Amino acid sequence: MDSHKASRSEPILTSVAESIGSTLGTIAAKAGAVQRAFTEKVAEAKPEMRRVAKRATKAAKRATTSVKKRVKPLRKRALKRPALAARRAKRKL
């Protein structure tokens, strides 16, 4: 009697197992496609990000050099002023 029940439910179990397997296969295929698409997008974005980073560093370097050029004469003037003030004071004496 037990073997009779097993033989009757066997096709149902096989059908369920096949549908589960095909569903899992479909999910795995879609996950693989998503992963490939994501990898391609990242690969495409890398050169663009490098270009943007280079532009940003160049702009930063230009800004710092221009600021340094403007500040350098001011420093020299600030250093000379006390010396000039001391000379003036010496002349007055």
Question: Residue 22, by phi and psi: left (phi above 0), alpha (psi -120 to 50) or beta?
Answer: alpha
| This prediction's pTM | 0.42
Give the range among 17-21, 52-56, 57-61, 88-92 with minimum mean pLDDT. Answer: 88-92
Query: What are 13's two structure tokens?
Result: 């179990």
Cα-only R_g, the chain? 39
pLDDT digits (tens, 9 = 90+) for 34-81: 988 888 888 888 888 888 999 999 999 999 888 888 877 776 666 666
